[in-house]
Structure 1
Amino acid sequence: MAIRELVVKSCSVSISSSVVKYNSLRKLSLYDVRLDENMLQTLVNKCPLLVSVILEYCQGLEKIKSDSLKVLKIFYSEIGEIDAPNLASLEYAGNQIPELRIARNSSQLEHSKIVFVCHDNVNAALFCKLRKFLSNSTSWSQVLLYFIKCSEINTTDLQLHYRGSNLQMNHTSSIPQVEVLNVNIPFQTEECPTFVDALLWSCRPKRLNLQSTSAMFTHFLNRLIYMKNSSHSTSHGKEPWHSQLKEVKAFDVKNQPLELGSGETGSKQPHGE
Structure 2
Amino acid sequence: METLATTEIEEDVDRISHLPDFIIHNILSRIGLWDWIRGGKEHHSQLLRLSVLSKKWFNLTASFPYLIFRIDHFHNVSRLNFFKYVEYATSRFCHHHNHVTAHTFKLSTTLREPAELDIVIKCVELVLNKGVRVLSIDILSVLGVQRYRLPNILSTVSMLESLAINGCYLPSSFMVNALQFKSLIRLKLQYISIDDEVIKYLNTSCPLLQDLEIRRCNGFKIVCVTGHQNLQNVTIAHNTQVERIHIEAPNLSELWLDERRTMQMNLVSCKKLRKVTYFGDLLPNSNSGFLSNFPFVDTLMLDTKCNNLKLSSHSLRTLVLLSNYDLEDIEFRTPNLASMYSRKYLFTMQPSVVSDSTHLKASMHCNPYGYIDATWFQKLRQFLDKKNGLEVLNLHIRTTCSLEKRDLEKLKAIELPPYELEHVQLQLDTQEESSAHRNFVDAVFWCCRPRSLILKSSSPLIDFEEQSDIVKFTHEKLLEQEDQSRTKIQIVPSSSCEAQIHLSDLKSLSKALPSAEQIIKFIKEEA
- Is the partner of 2:445 in helix, strand or coil? helix
| Aligned partner letter, 1:129 | K
- How far residue 225 of structure 1 moved from its aligned partner, in angstroms, is 1.5
Whether contact under 8 Å (1:12, 1:35) holds in the other structure is no
Distance 1:130 1:224, change over 3 A: farther
**What is the match of residue 81 of structure 1?**
331
Matched to 2:344, the amino acid is N
Q: Which residue of 1 aligns with 2:470?
A: 223
User: How far did residue 94 of structure 1 move?
Assistant: 4.0
Secondary structure class of the residue paired with 1:214: coil
What code does the residue aligned with 1:92 have?
Y
| Structure-2 residue corresponding to 1:145 | 396
Give the structure 2 partner of residue 30 of structure 1.
Answer: 277
Q: Tell me: higher relative CO, structure 1 or 2? Use CA pairs within 8 A at least 6 residues apart.
A: 1
| 1:272 CA drift (Å) | 7.9
- Cα offset for 1:129? 2.5
Please state if 1:201 is matched with 2:446. Answer: yes
Q: Give, in angstroms, the shift of residue 175 of structure 1.
A: 2.3
- Which stretches in structure 1 are left out of the alignment for 5+ residues? 99-107, 251-259
Kept after mapping to 2: 8 A contact 1:249/1:267: yes
Summarize the Cα distance change of 1:92–1:112 in structure 2 as closer, same or farther, 3 Å threshold: farther
For residues 220 and 40 of structure 1, the distance between their equivalents in structure 2, rounded to whole angstroms, comes to: 48
Question: Does the alignment pair 1:64 with 2:308?
Answer: no
Equivalent residue number for residue 260 of structure 2: 12
State percent identity of aligned pairs. Answer: 18
Amino acid at match of 1:14: T
Say yes or no: does 1:212 pair with 2:477: no
Q: Over residues 165-204 of structure 1, what are the superposed CA-to-partner deviations in whole Å (9 max), with x where a residue is unaligned?
A: x63x3xxxx424152424251x525222222222333244
Q: TM-score, normalised by structure 2?
A: 0.38
From the two aligned structures, give the one with the greater helix fraction. 2
Q: What runs of 5+ residues in structure 2 fail to find an aligned partner?
A: 1-227, 229-248, 348-358, 496-508
Name the amino acid aligned to 1:59.
K
Q: Deviations over 1:86-120 (max 9, x none)?
A: x151423343499xxxxxxxxx9943323232311
CA distance in 1, matches of 2:311, 2:481: 35
Matched, 1:127 2:355: no
* Equivalent residue pairs, number: 237
Q: 2: CA distance between counterparts of 1:21 and 1:46?
A: 6
Q: Answer whether contact 1:139 1:179 (CA < 8 A) is retained.
A: no
Deviations 1:23-78, CA, capped at 9 Å, x for gaps:
32432432543334444544422333x141323443226322223x1413133443
SS in 1 for 2:402: coil
**What's the RMSD between the two structures over aligned residues?**
4.0
1:203-247 deviations in whole A, cap 9, x for unaligned? 44423252421027964552221453xxx447975557x878865
After TM superposition, the structure 1 stretch with the greater mean CA deviation from structure 2, 36-45 or 123-132, is 36-45
CA distance in 2, matches of 1:140, 1:215: 29
Cα distance in 2 for partners of 1:245, 1:38 equals: 52
Does 1:111 find its partner at 2:362? Answer: yes
Give, as a single letter, the amino acid of the residue that structure 1 aligns with 2:313. Answer: S
TM-aligned CA distance change 1:71 to 1:152, over 3 Å: closer
Q: CA deviation at 1:6?
A: 1.1
**What TM-score comes out, normalization by structure 1 length?**
0.65
**Structure 1 residue 151, shift from structure 2 partner:** 1.2
Aligned counterpart, 1:188: 431
Distance 1:151 1:143 in 2: 20
Shift of 1:267: 3.8
CA distance in 2, matches of 1:54, 1:202: 28
- Distance in 1, matches of 2:431 and 2:467, equals 11
What amino acid is the match of 2:423? Answer: E
- How far, CA to CA, are the matches of 1:5 and 1:126 in structure 2? 35
Q: Is the CA contact 1:94–1:116 (under 8 Å) kept in the aligned structure 2?
A: no
What displacement does 1:12 show?
1.0
